[in-house]
């Protein structure tokens, strides 16, 4: 279990997160949705222990994140950012291999892991290519392969992957591919937490859903149960209608066309 309890975070006197409680279960896909500026990325950075000046506790498998060394953290959690800029010319294979940086493994073990994650993400046929010459979708799949390589080994303890809007600049096929892969790896005793912009995608893939607004959790729970008109409207200040898609057996929303000012819901911050 990856748990955030009573997390508050402020930059100078601006409160970014207040009293957040959140947990990621191994084997499950947890999604966080919310409008721009809700504090989603900050929350992910606190969870990843990249921001350390927070109040409250982040515990990973029962041990406080503060008590992990950077290397030990790398053994239990990996992070996929929105975009990664690489300054120098590395090959695809070298980038994926960086996911193994903190591990003590033989070259042979690493090579085996590399082969598995690269074929899973469908990048093994261009492993020798220069990373800088890839398309956006290919780059993100390479980064996903790197993240998977980091937590791929089966261990006695569960591992976690944190995804920060990993598909924000990809086409829908690539978006579906990235989330399907993330969902698929949950089976390996891996817990996934993803920040997702597209609400329909969030409810399609997530087991648990958190609605974040103004640094606070507005609603949370089993994805299909909390995916309601009122929760979405309160979080996003936008009128929506919720329908049911019989093909995926999953709810979906269509925002209402409106000519008026955005719905204002008590802007208490």
Binding-site ranges for other proteins (CB under 8 A): 45, 48, 50, 69-71, 73-75, 77-79, 81, 84-91, 94-95, 98-99, 101-103, 130, 132-133, 146, 150
Select 97 or 219, whichever has its Cβ closest to other proteins. 97
Select 64 or 132, whichever has its Cβ closest to other proteins. 132
In angstroms, what is the minimal distance from the CB of 79 to other proteins?
4
Q: How far apart are CA 79 and CA 24, in angstroms?
A: 14
Query: 55-60 and 2-11: which strand pairing?
Result: antiparallel
Select 88 or 259, whichever has its Cβ closest to other proteins. 88
In angstroms, what is the minimal distance from the CB of 38 to other proteins?
20
In angstroms, what is the minimal distance from the CB of 90 to other proteins?
6
In angstroms, what is the minimal distance from the CB of 95 to other proteins?
8
Select 4 or 74, whichever has its Cβ closest to other proteins. 74
């Amino acid at each position: 279990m990856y748990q955030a309890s009573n997390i508050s975070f402020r930059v100078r006197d601006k409160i970014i997160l207040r009293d957040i409680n959140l947990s990621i279960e191994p084997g499950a896909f947890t999604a966080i949705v919310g409008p721009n500026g809700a504090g989603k990325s900050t929350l992910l950075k606190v969870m990843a222990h990249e921001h350390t000046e927070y109040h409250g506790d982040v515990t990973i498998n029962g041990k406080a994140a503060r008590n992990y060394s950077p290397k030990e953290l790398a053994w239990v959690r990996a992070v996929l950012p929105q975009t990664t800029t690489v300054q120098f010319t590395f090959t695809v294979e070298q980038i994926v291999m960086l996911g193994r940086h903190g591990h003590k493994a033989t070259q042979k073990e690493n090579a085996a892991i590399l082969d598995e994650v690269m074929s899973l993400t469908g990048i093994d046929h261009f492993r020798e290519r220069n990373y800088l010459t890839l398309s956006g979708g290919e780059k993100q799949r390479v980064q996903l392969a790197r993240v998977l390589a980091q937590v791929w080994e089966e261990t006695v303890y569960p591992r976690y992957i944190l995804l920060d809007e990993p598909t924000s600049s990809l086409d829908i096929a690539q978006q579906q591919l990235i989330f399907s892969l993330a969902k698929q790896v949950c089976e390996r005793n891996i817990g996934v937490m993803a920040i997702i912009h597209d609400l329909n995608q969030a409810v399609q893939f997530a087991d648990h859903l958190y609605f974040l607004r103004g640094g606070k959790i507005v609603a949370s729970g089993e994805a299909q149960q909390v995916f309601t008109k009122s929760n979405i409207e309160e979080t996003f200040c936008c009128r929506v209608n919720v329908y049911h898609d019989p093909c995926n057996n999953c709810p979906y929303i269509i925002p209402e066309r409106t000519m008026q000012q955005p719905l204002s819901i008590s802007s208490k911050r």
